[in-house]
A and B are shown apart, each in its own frame.
Chain A
Amino acid sequence: MNPTRYRDGARAIAPIAVAAVTFGASFGVLARSVGIDALAATVMSATTFAGSAQFAVASILGTSGGIAAAILAATLLNARYAPISVSVAPLFEGGKIRRLLEAQLIVDESWAVSRRADGRFDRRLLIGAGLVLYVSWVTGTALGSIGGEALGDPADLGLDAAFPALFLALLIPQVRSRRALAAAVLGGTVALVLIPFTPAGVPIVAAAGACMIGWRRP
């Protein structure tokens, strides 16, 4: 098999890049409606680069939920990145600063497409996909917060359904073994059961615990 290139990662994520621009734009619009100006919204997309946490912050500040609640919600939503980043840790080489910067390109979608059929993660796929998503998200945010509502509601275009479809398409090749299927069923069930009872973000972190069925004694 030929070595993968960054371009392969960019190509793999292209189907979802349009949705990322549109959701970035809708974050910009929502942010401005609650008093977060274009500069602040764009800086947030460039530094946080995690959609669900940013939407949570905007909606909590918009309903005067207070800055502590906004910070807590966003941190819970992003807690999944701790286990996710551990799963791809061996890919990152070089000095600490370089690893820290490259690690910021880890988002759900870039992580998901970087997993190859053999179960290993691929650094170039992750970085290539992550860069495309980063540019899409930041550009979308700037367009939305400057340009306003002309872009329309992503929900009217059905774009919110693009994400579960993407994750399902990426999940199916992963469940070739019985244990992988068991982890998927357990993870999905844990998430479903917790959705009504916990703040958003917690169901995904708890579901990640399903991977412990692979635990062996050292």
Chain B
Amino acid sequence: MTEVWIVIGVVGAATVALKSVGPVLLGGRPLPEHLDDVVSLLAPAVLAALVVTQLVGGDREIVLDARLVGLAAAVVALLLRAPLLVVVIAAAVATAAVRALS
């Protein structure tokens, strides 16, 4: 049990430090202007990576499963300009349906 608490303490401290890098070291001040474009492109780059890793990410392998059908349903909902709640529910319901049937 002691080992568990060591991991919890170290991981917690590391995470707190990583999340604080920007706000504590640079907080309250605008970033240098020449970095504006770099920072504004961080969101599309990281969001695209999150889509990919959450969609097909496995344990050091690419896993193609029912999540793909869920994302297809989300794309249809997005094309129909559905609100975010509907998009997310469509993805979950389609994925659950495929898993229930297979």
Residues on A lying within 8 angstroms of B by beta carbon are 12, 14-16, 19, 35-37, 40, 43-44, 47-50, 53, 57, 61, 67, 70-71, 74-75, 78-94, 96, 99-100, 102-104, 106, 108, 112, 115, 119, 155-172, 174-175, 179-181, 183-188, 190-192, 195-200, 203-204, 207-218
Contacts of B74 in A (CB 8 A): 161, 164-165, 168-169
What residues on B are CB-neighbors of A165 within 8 Å? 70-71, 73-74, 87-88, 90-92
Whether B88 contacts A81 by the Cβ 8 Å rule is no
Smallest CB separation, B7 vs chain A (Å): 5
Tell me whether A71 and B11 are in contact (CB under 8 A): yes
Asked whether, in the complex, the Cβ of B45 is within 8 Å of the Cβ of A211, the reply is yes
Q: Interface residues of B toward A: which range?
A: 35 or more
- Which residues of A lie under 8 Å from residue B36 when comparing CB positions? 214
Cross-chain contact A161 with B38 (CB below 8 angstroms): no
Beyond A85-B23, A112-B43, A184-B48, 14 additional contacts (C-beta under 8 Å) are A44-B11, A47-B8, A47-B16, A75-B11, A81-B18, A82-B18, A86-B22, A158-B95, A164-B67, A165-B71, A179-B41, A200-B59, A203-B53, A211-B41
Interface centre among A71, A96, A158, A162 (most CB of B within 10 A): A158
Q: Are B19 and A167 in contact (CB under 8 A)?
A: no
A196–B52 Cα gap in the complex (Å)?
12
Closest CB in chain A relative to B20 CB, distance in Å? 5
Assess whether B15 is in contact with A204, with CB atoms less than 8 Å apart: no
Query: Do B24 and A40 touch across chains, with their CB atoms under 8 A apart?
Result: no
Q: Are B22 and A89 in contact (CB under 8 A)?
A: yes
Contact B45 A169 (CB under 8 A): no
A94 to B23, CA, bound (A): 10
Q: Are A169 and B87 neighbours in the complex by a CB distance under 8 Å?
A: yes
Q: Mark B29-47, 1 if CB is under 8 A from A, else 0.
A: 1111010111111111111
Q: How far apart are the CA atoms of A88 and B42 in the complex, in Å?
A: 11
Give chain A residues whose Cβ lies under 8 Å from the Cβ of B28.
Answer: 90, 92-94, 99
Residue from B7, B21, B51 within 8 A of A57 (CB atoms) = B7
Bound-state CA distance A106–B19 (Å) is 7
A185 touching B48 in the complex, CB below 8 Å, given contacts A47-B8, A88-B22, A96-B24: yes
